Amino acid sequence: MNVMARSETEQALVQTARRVLPAGGFGNFASDIILREGRGGRVWDVSGNEYVDYLLGSGPMFIGHGHPEVIAAVQAQIPLGTTFFANNEHGIRLAEEIVEALPCAEQVRFVSSGSEADMYALRVARAFRRRDRILKFEGGYHGMSDWGLMSLAPKHLANFPNAVPDSAGIPKSVREEVLVAPFNDLETARSLIAEHHDELGAIIVEPFQRLIPPAPGFLQGLRDIATQYGIPLIFDEVVTGFRFAYGGAQTYYGVTPDLCTLGKIIGGGFALAAIAGRADIMAHFDRGIVGDDGFLMQVGTLSGNPVAAVAGLATMEVLRRPGAYEGVFETGRTMMREMAAMLAKAGVPAQVIGEPPLFDVVFTAEAVRDYRGTLRADAAVQKHVNQHLRASGILKGDSKYYISLAHDARDVAQTLEAFQAALATLPGRG
């Protein structure tokens, strides 16, 4: 294991951050590392330490950091204007591309973050349905709104369908507006929806929940019961949109929602997200169609920002090329296969779960089908391995390897070598 040296400059920045930022950071990744630069599938910190980057800015950098075509598009746009608070050609072209790519998308409304996209998707569904309650799935992440932060990662498990707030400051009344079901349990979801269908304004789900793929028939079952009762089905594709396939998880898994939310990849590393879906639901953003009573007001200073839009368009151009997704999937499959083999050989009770573009190792021998399954994992072992990986020049989040087009054989080899070494440091092994 190589211990990363920290320069005086980086140490001073960490101390400054602790003084001027709550908890010393932006609320995202660990605050004891200050990144300076990213190129391709790698990043460097202020001290000059180099890492294979599986964090990828929490996913947006799907084609790699500093892609020359994205940089060229952004550099061409910046002298022409960085924001207008008005329609611009690039935003319109990006919306057109999304409509052509995604099965559910007839119209698009831009915002600046995935949290906004999820919040407005729920709101527009409630406006359309004229019902207040939503159904979500325990462990599903749908942004930072009060509704999104119900039963994301509850410390105290409640009986379904009771919701548990994950943050201070959420009004108690929100609990009554959110019903919670276990992911991949179609029978429980069907029962709850049937019982509460006349109260529900929306069903929202990550088609691939954090790291957990949908069980066969689960998404289609949700689609069927949502259709039966006329409840809008929302796929949160902020993570999976354009990552699993050019048409998102809805294309990859073959199930079409009524609405979806997008972010990360569509902005090419800049602040841009979107709600996309059926025109009759999206009409609630248009006062001229639905009138004052049905109108959903939505404005955002940077919505459809031209710099983000050109970055997104350039990213999508790269993704449309032959072999783009095949390469990502091959990289991910190789890593998943080799890690699983190492775990088996070492006799470590663990499994590799996810899909090739997005996966991780979960240190439990038991099947993981939902949030409560993840709680059976050995968090101490996970933390130990992640720390060893980072000290060996592998940067990843607590629970994800994001794979990019830029990751190459050298990156994979370094990662697998570091993972093998990390396993050897576990108690009782050497």
**Residues 77 and 17 placed together within one structural domain of the fold:** no
Distances, alpha carbon 92 to alpha carbons 35, 98, 132, 273, 316, in Å: 33, 10, 32, 14, 14
Is residue 261 in a domain?
yes
**Residues 92 and 151 placed together within one structural domain of the fold:** yes
One-letter identity of residue 175:
R
**Residues 404 and 258 placed together within one structural domain of the fold:** no
- Residue 322 has a pLDDT of 97
Q: What is the mean pLDDT of the chain?
A: 96
> Which stretches of 209-357 are assigned E, i.e. beta strand?
233-237, 259-262, 273-277, 351-355
**Residues 315 and 342 placed together within one structural domain of the fold:** no
Sign of the CA dihedral running 313, 318, 322, 326: negative
Is residue 325 in a domain?
no
**Residues 153 and 180 placed together within one structural domain of the fold:** yes
Question: Helices 306-319 and 89-101, interaxial angle, to 10°?
Answer: 40
Is residue 327 in a domain?
no
What is the 3-state secondary structure of 374-411? HCCCCHHHHHHHHHHHHHCCEECCCCCEECCCCCCHHH
Question: Do the bridges between strand 133-137 and strand 107-111 make them parallel or antiparallel, or are there none, so unpaired?
Answer: unpaired
Q: How far is CA 118 from the centre of its chain?
A: 12
Separate counts of helices (H) and strands (E) for the chain: 14, 14
Please give the average per-residue pLDDT across 127-134, as a whole number.
98
**Residues 124 and 263 placed together within one structural domain of the fold:** yes
Q: Which of 319, 341, 358 is the last residue of a domain?
A: 319
- 306 with 272: CB under 8 angstroms? no
Q: Which of 319, 350, 384 is the last residue of a domain?
A: 319
- 194 with 188: CB under 8 angstroms? no
Instruction: Collect all residues with Cβ–Cβ distance below 8 Å to 347 and sequence separation of at least 6.
Output: none
- Residue 265 has a pLDDT of 98
**Residues 46 and 109 placed together within one structural domain of the fold:** no
**Residues 306 and 356 placed together within one structural domain of the fold:** no
Distances, alpha carbon 252 to alpha carbons 208, 238, 355, in Å: 10, 15, 11
Please give the average per-residue pLDDT across 406-414, as a whole number.
98
Nearest to 206 by CA among 273, 257, 130: 257
One-letter identity of residue 379:
A
Please give the average per-residue pLDDT across 395-405, as a whole number.
95
Instruction: Specify the long-range contacts of residues 333-340, CB closer than 8 Å, at least 24 apart.
Output: 334/412, 335/359, 335/401, 335/403, 335/412, 335/415, 335/416, 338/416, 339/416, 339/419
- Cα separation of 318 and 10, whole Å? 35
CB-CB neighbours of 331 under 10 Å: 22
Active site amino acids = 141, 236, 264
Is residue 137 in a domain?
yes
* CATH classification of the domain holding 200: 3.40.640.10
Instruction: Collect all residues with Cβ–Cβ distance below 8 Å to 366 and sequence separation of at least 6.
Output: 373, 376
Q: Which of 293, 319, 345 is the last residue of a domain?
A: 319
Q: Residue 79, preceding bond cis, omega within 30 degrees?
A: no
Residue pLDDT, tens place only, 266-297: 999 999 999 999 999 999 999 999 999 999 99
Residue pLDDT, tens place only, 81-125: 999 999 999 999 999 999 999 999 999 999 999 999 999 999 999
Looking at the predicted structure, is the pLDDT value of residue 1 above 60? Answer: no
CB-CB neighbours of 170 under 10 Å: 16
- 254 with 247: CB under 8 angstroms? no
- 310 with 77: CB under 8 angstroms? yes
**Residues 81 and 24 placed together within one structural domain of the fold:** no
- 75's enclosing H/E stretch is helix 68-77
- Residue 427 has a pLDDT of 81
In three-state secondary structure terms, 33 is coil
Hunting for tokens 């007001």 — which residue is that? Answer: 297
- Residue 183 has a pLDDT of 98
Residue pLDDT, tens place only, 187-215: 999 999 999 999 999 999 999 999 999 99
* CATH classification of the domain holding 56: 3.90.1150.10
Is residue 174 in a domain?
yes
Instruction: Work out how many domains the chain is built from and give that number.
Output: 2
**Residues 111 and 206 placed together within one structural domain of the fold:** yes
- Cα separation of 359 and 215, whole Å? 16
- Cα separation of 198 and 120, whole Å? 21
Is residue 25 in a domain?
yes
**Residues 282 and 356 placed together within one structural domain of the fold:** no
- Cα separation of 413 and 419, whole Å? 10
Please give the average per-residue pLDDT across 402-415, as a whole number.
98
Tokens of residue 98, six digits: 């999304």
Is residue 278 in a domain?
yes
Please give the average per-residue pLDDT across 298-316, as a whole number.
97
What residues are paired with 233 via a beta bridge?
203
- 56 with 397: CB under 8 angstroms? no
- Residue 187 has a pLDDT of 98
Q: How far is CA 145 from the centre of its chain?
A: 15
Residue pLDDT, tens place only, 149-190: 999 999 899 999 999 999 999 999 999 999 999 999 999 999
The whole domain housing 378 covers 8-66+332-424
**Residues 158 and 188 placed together within one structural domain of the fold:** yes
Looking at the predicted structure, is the pLDDT value of residue 3 above 90? Answer: no
DSSP state of 175: G
Is residue 357 in a domain?
yes
Looking at the predicted structure, is the pLDDT value of residue 368 above 90? Answer: yes
